[in-house]
Structure 1
Amino acid sequence: MSKITGGELLVLALRKNNIKNVFGLVGNHVSPIFVHAQKHGLDIIDVRHEQAAIHMADGWSQVTRNIGVAIVTGGPGFTNSITGIVKAYMANTPILVIVGSTVPQQRDVGGLQDIDQIGMIREYTKWSASVFDTGRIPEYISIAMKKAVSGLRGPVVLEIPINILKNSIDEEEVNWPENNTIISKSSPNRETLDIILNTIVDAEKPLIIAGDEIYYGHSENELVKFVETTGIPIVTVNKARGCIPDSHSLCFGNGRVLEAGPQLYALHEADVIINVGLNIDYQMGLAKLPFFRAGQKFINICRDEYYNSRITSKPALTVIAEPGETLSALCTLIKEKNIVLKSYSSWIDKLKENDADYWENISSQAGNERIHPINIIRGIMEYIDDDDIVVLDGSNAMFWGSLLFSFNKPGRLIIGPDGTLGPMGCGIPLALAAKLANPDKKVILYTGDGSFGFNAIEMDTAVRLNIPITVIVHNDLAWGFCKSTQQVLYGEQNVSSCDLGIRPYEKMVEALGGYGEFVGRNDRIIPAIKNAIDSGKPACINVLVDYDLFAPGAIMFNESLKAMK
């Protein structure tokens, strides 16, 4: 009878669930897993800090629409991971985190790294559990994988003590669960579809807002068909960006309130808002004044009631169903009933006019000698294709990037501080995971100088493992957004602890073996980007931007803080 250890069993369980790589950092508690990975074709992407491992699993999940997996040692390895886990929870990103721990015999006697890990994180996971039986490891892995993607997506955490991983059992004792779960995609009944259509038929200025569920549900085709069938204009938010091309005649790009772009006019003036798969939170102004207005009707189509429970101040029709299935059913019903919707050409013309005025005003700001983010982002877009991936990080830099980049295919945008936790500094690991998942695509990280520093040492991971991402540092010499907030709330003379000064981030990356270049003039932006991409190395372009320039979203956010009581 052959024997197998818990660590090897865990590797096999991951492989049976189609996991080919994991992100982690070696430690005593998890070494029984790591030593068996290569034998069974499980690639370990080893990082320099556990936080980065979690963020990389998060990035992998976002670009592949599959579960990302991280493995970290217990104690401080686990506590280093908490921010990443909470971020995934508050952004509804499905990841599996496997955590080692001390042996049960050393609990509550002063043993090394004896902490209540599951108790600390349980509230911010979809599901979490400790495994105390080696033979049940595959069962727990199977449960965790299902929990992560069922209902409202999110992180799951499994704690496995080192003795369970080192223990050997007869292979015949292992209970291998069958991976035959079928997830049924629900759509509303005919009566509900009729109510939705009647509301749309009565609308004069309808607007569609598409969110993450469209992306994770692979429903981009259904979304485009619904837009073209109804002729209703649309804005997209976060992971839904690109699910209908920004270049589509009925798509008006980014719909997120935070960027204070031309979408504010559309959101405020629409009389019926059809929300498909979007979590209404602070990123959407909580669907309240002044961004929205009284009397608007909301149709909320989401697969989980949690998304819909946020909108309490609007007349709303709540539909708990798969957004893609619902949109497809609506298109079928329109065809069956031969419904002829009214023309929204006047409404669409107003949206186009508003867009043109907004972009003309923004573009007029980019003409002076100082480097404007518009010039940087225009330069980036000259060297990337629709298939390439953009990661945004920071605050002021993120506001500019989300406002100015356009996306024509799904899965091409990752916003680092997504969800309602909004942590800065996760951009580098997110970009590394995106590149690993798409080795033939360019991956560009546009990040602030402050946020770059959080995980800057992961550029060593990029060099060691030959993951050639290109990092563009939007260097305003400070914690720029915090500086602007202090200026607004407390006065210019009271700004404190915000200045960073000029730092040679590009030299740091060069010293690690990557490519680096400093840019201080507008005419060097495009050549530097070309040099970085053509180098084939992990690269850092350190761009000195106009440090007195703040994105419209940053300005608006500060005004909201000023008005807050």
Structure 2
Amino acid sequence: MRGQPASKTATDTLAKKSKSEDVISGGHLVAKALKNEGVDTIFTLCGGHIIDIYDGCLDEGIRIIDVRHEQTAAHAADGYARQTGKLGCVVTTAGPGCTNAITGIATAFRSESPILHIGGQSSLTQHKMGSLQDLPHVDIMTPITKFAAGVMSTERVADMISMAARECFNGAYGPSYLEIPRDVLDREVPIETAVIPEPGCYRASVKSVGDPVDVEKLADILVNAERPAMLVGSQVFMSRGHQDAIELARKLNIALYMNGASRGILPPGDPHYFNRTRSSAFKKADVIVIVGTPFDFRMGYGKRISQAATLIQIDQDYRTVGKNRDISLGLAGDPGAVLAAVLQATTGRSENGAKGRQGWLDGLRAEEV
């Protein structure tokens, strides 16, 4: 794996006991790896197991927001990720520090929000000896994260952070948990042994658009639809594909509905914004496109959608496509990338059909009041 050696750390005026130019601590490796990932802020509640991470963050110019409860820190990291599109980061101390964050992490898991939870742990030399706040954090966090692991050596700190960050953005977004013991953070290792991978070297740089044949099929279906409707969910906003969704709706005169994090991508009053008529539209539409949201309780697990409609589902997670409801066409890929490809595939083919759908939109608009 290619990468760049960790650079010389800045002078630490707070607590570092050694300032040799030839070594770097685990805490500083955490900070450098986070900065390399684009993280400029961590949310935390100060604890002794993680103090070395703060030293590194201060040296690297990463903002530390110290809250009063770890649940708040987890929710704040979630909100940061949703609003910026970048990796959110919450850092907690061992034991109750980790468990207090569970609700926030579980929320991010269900909301498909990319946050990295770094947790402290007692030193490896005290493993299973009854050390302060010792809990099986990895086992606790596994059910509500996409990836959960512990770091066993200082040399692996940056590598493991890159691994955890990759999983946050792999397929459907979500949280990862990384436990780093106290002595792994405190230990200093030769700089040449501590390589920080570059982001482009440990995850795909191109977003998947699915099968090009299916993209063309979807374009054909939409161009020939008479009463099309589209529902966009959180994945569309999180992948920053909302502008493509809006442009597609406007170009083809599609009734656009929103849920989850995509609520608000269009303002009320926009000609293609619809809200109160979703149930009616899903019973009358001949083509329905569901993008980045599952057939869950909000849609009666898919049973509220007309069986006669041509139903298309686009999702980052292939396991969600066709779950709870049979579909006519399924595309597994990044929602924004797929919508952009469909938009391109309809170029020059939409004008007449779009005009003919105005009556469909006018009818729904009359029902909205």
What interval of TM-score do these two structures reach, taking the shorter chain for normalisation?
0.7 to 0.9
Cα–Cα, structure 1 residues 144 and 292, in superposed 2: closer, same or farther, change >3 Å?
same
User: Once the 2 structures are TM-superposed, how far is the Cα of residue 339 of structure 1 from its aligned partner?
Assistant: 7.3
Query: What TM-score, normalized to structure 2?
Result: 0.87
User: Once the 2 structures are TM-superposed, how far is the Cα of residue 355 of structure 1 from its aligned partner?
Assistant: 0.7
Equivalent position of 2:334 in the other structure:
322
1:198-347 maps to which residues of 2 (within 5 A)?
198-201=220-223, 203-253=225-275, 261-288=276-303, 291-312=304-325, 314-335=326-347, 340-341=352-353, 343-347=356-360
Give CA deviations for 1:38-93 in whole Å, capped at 9, x if unaligned. 23212110010111111110010011111110100011111111111111111111
- The aligned amino acid for 1:295 is A
Aligned length: 346
Equivalent position of 1:168 in the other structure:
188
Q: Which has the higher contact order (CA 8 A, sep 6+)?
A: 2
Give CA deviations for 1:343-362 in whole Å, capped at 9, x if unaligned. 12332122111111xxxxxx
User: Once the 2 structures are TM-superposed, how far is the Cα of residue 326 of structure 1 from its aligned partner?
Assistant: 2.8
2:198 aligned with 1:185: no
Cα–Cα, structure 1 residues 103 and 338, in superposed 2: closer, same or farther, change >3 Å?
closer
What is the distance in 1 between the residues matched to 2:195 and 2:179? Answer: 19
Which residue of the other structure, out of 57, 74, 83, is the alignment partner of 1:63? Answer: 83
Which residue of the other structure, out of 33, 40, 44, is the alignment partner of 1:20? Answer: 40
Equivalent position of 2:112 in the other structure:
92
What is the distance in 1 between the residues matched to 2:86 and 2:227? Answer: 37
Task: Give structure 2 stretches of 5+ with no counterpart.
Answer: 1-20
Give CA deviations for 1:182-225 in whole Å, capped at 9, x if unaligned. 43223355532343244335543221111122212222232122
Contact kept? 1:118, 1:128, Cα under 8 Å: yes
What is the distance in 1 between the residues matched to 2:252 and 2:217? Answer: 15
What is the distance in 2 between the residues matched to 1:337 and 1:266? Answer: 24
What is the distance in 2 between the residues matched to 1:347 and 1:323? Answer: 25
Contact kept? 2:295, 2:301, Cα under 8 Å: yes
Cα–Cα, structure 1 residues 241 and 83, in superposed 2: closer, same or farther, change >3 Å?
same
1:441-456 maps to which residues of 2 (within 5 A)?
none
User: Once the 2 structures are TM-superposed, how far is the Cα of residue 270 of structure 1 from its aligned partner?
Assistant: 2.3
1:457-472 maps to which residues of 2 (within 5 A)?
none
Give CA deviations for 1:207-251 in whole Å, capped at 9, x if unaligned. 111112221222223212211221111111121123334332022
Contact kept? 2:30, 2:56, Cα under 8 Å: no
Contact kept? 2:25, 2:187, Cα under 8 Å: yes
What is the distance in 2 between the residues matched to 1:26 and 1:41? Answer: 18
Equivalent position of 1:33 in the other structure:
53
Secondary structure at 2:33 match in 1: helix
Which residue of the other structure, out of 83, 86, 94, is the alignment partner of 2:103? Answer: 83
Question: What percent identity do the matched residue pairs reach?
Answer: 29
Give CA deviations for 1:249-303 in whole Å, capped at 9, x if unaligned. 02214xxxxxxx4433223332321112223322332222xx3343333111223
Equivalent position of 1:104 in the other structure:
124
Contact kept? 1:131, 1:160, Cα under 8 Å: yes
Q: Which runs of 4+ in 1 moved over 6 A?
A: none
What is the distance in 2 between the residues matched to 1:59 and 1:236? Answer: 19
Query: What TM-score, normalized to structure 1?
Result: 0.58
Cα–Cα, structure 1 residues 340 and 137, in superposed 2: closer, same or farther, change >3 Å?
same
2:152 aligned with 1:132: yes
What is the distance in 1 between the residues matched to 2:281 and 2:97? Answer: 46
User: Once the 2 structures are TM-superposed, how far is the Cα of residue 30 of structure 1 from its aligned partner?
Assistant: 0.7
What is the distance in 2 between the residues matched to 1:332 and 1:164? Answer: 50
Cα–Cα, structure 1 residues 337 and 171, in superposed 2: closer, same or farther, change >3 Å?
same
Equivalent position of 2:17 in the other structure:
none
Contact kept? 2:138, 2:150, Cα under 8 Å: yes
Contact kept? 2:94, 2:119, Cα under 8 Å: yes
**Coordinate RMSD, CA, aligned:** 2.1
Cα–Cα, structure 1 residues 42 and 31, in superposed 2: closer, same or farther, change >3 Å?
same
Which residue of the other structure, out of 146, 151, 158, is the alignment partner of 2:166? Answer: 146
What is the distance in 2 between the residues matched to 1:105 and 1:351? Answer: 67
Task: Give structure 1 stretches of 5+ with no counterpart.
Answer: 254-260, 357-565
What is the distance in 2 between the residues matched to 1:67 and 1:186? Answer: 19
Secondary structure at 2:134 match in 1: coil
Which residue of the other structure, out of 184, 196, 211, is the alignment partner of 2:218? Answer: 196
What is the distance in 2 between the residues matched to 1:60 and 1:190? Answer: 33
Equivalent position of 1:48 in the other structure:
68
